[in-house]
């Protein structure tokens, strides 16, 4: 099973669910991106590290890092190894100098730790095929574009909310309509909506 390296692209505030955020991962050598819905606490822990901020007191993930390093334990890598019913599963590979141990972890916690230990994040070919969203604006160049070039740029700003949009019920949409809605959601940076549509497409494809 091939391993695909991921980078943390950023975090976008949920437009439809209060207190939720979309964590966006991108494959290092490709155009596909994976949106993962996380809670406010986990989003804060990730955003603080992405921005290079130092809280006055250590957060839980900072405490874990300090504790681990005090006993000579390092995190070598994080693996997102399973996607089941829209839920991502991850583990972390640890090393204490004598042996390596794999620990189960929530994906959001695993990524927050990966950023602090500056270790790589991987996933599988199967997961990137199922959950990956391809961003390719050039393929729509022959269609009428209503967005400006600035609107097509993907920028993720923690805590930045946008006006909520009323969406059609995806359960009543055809596959072609779902694919169109998926492209529209990605273009508008509505990664939570994109995740819902992607899961519906995967459900119908089974």
34-43 confidence digits (pLDDT tens): 989 888 888 8
Q: What is the pLDDT of residues 149-205, one digit of tens each?
A: 332 333 333 333 333 343 457 787 888 778 777 767 765 656 667 777 888 888 888
Q: Is 121 exposed, middle or buried (0-12, 13-18, 19+ CB in 10 A)?
A: buried
Domain boundaries, the chain: 1-206
**pTM > 0.85:** no
In this structure, which CATH number among 3.30.420.40, 3.20.20.70, 3.10.690.10, 2.40.50.140 belongs to the domain 1-206? 3.10.690.10
Side-chain half-sphere CA neighbours of 98 within 13 A: 2
- Residue 159 and residue 179: Cα distance in Å, rounded? 28
Give the separation between CA 149 and CA 138, rounded to whole angstroms. Answer: 12
Three-state secondary-structure class, residue 1: coil
């Amino acid at each position: 099973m091939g391993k695909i390296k991921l980078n943390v692209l950023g975090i976008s505030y949920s437009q439809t669910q209060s207190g939720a955020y979309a964590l966006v991962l991108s494959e290092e050598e490709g155009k596909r991106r994976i949106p993962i819905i996380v809670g406010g606490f986990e989003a804060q822990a990730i955003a603080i590290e992405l921005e290079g901020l130092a809280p006055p007191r250590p957060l839980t993930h900072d405490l874990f890092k300090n504790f681990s390093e005090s006993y000579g334990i390092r995190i070598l890598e994080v693996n997102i190894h399973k996607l089941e019913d829209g839920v991502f599963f991850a583990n972390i590979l640890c090393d204490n100098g004598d042996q390596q141990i794999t620990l189960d972890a929530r994906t959001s916690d695993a990524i927050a730790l990966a950023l602090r230990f500056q270790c790589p994040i991987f996933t599988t070919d199967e997961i990137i095929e199922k959950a990956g969203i391809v961003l390719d604006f050039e393929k729509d160049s022959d269609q009428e574009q209503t967005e400006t070039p600035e609107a097509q740029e993907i920028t993720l700003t923690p805590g930045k909310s946008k006006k909520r949009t009323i969406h059609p019920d995806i359960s009543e949409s055809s596959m072609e309509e779902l694919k169109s809605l998926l492209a529209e959601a990605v273009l508008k940076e509505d990664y939570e909506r994109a995740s819902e549509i992607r899961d519906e497409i995967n459900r119908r494809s089974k």
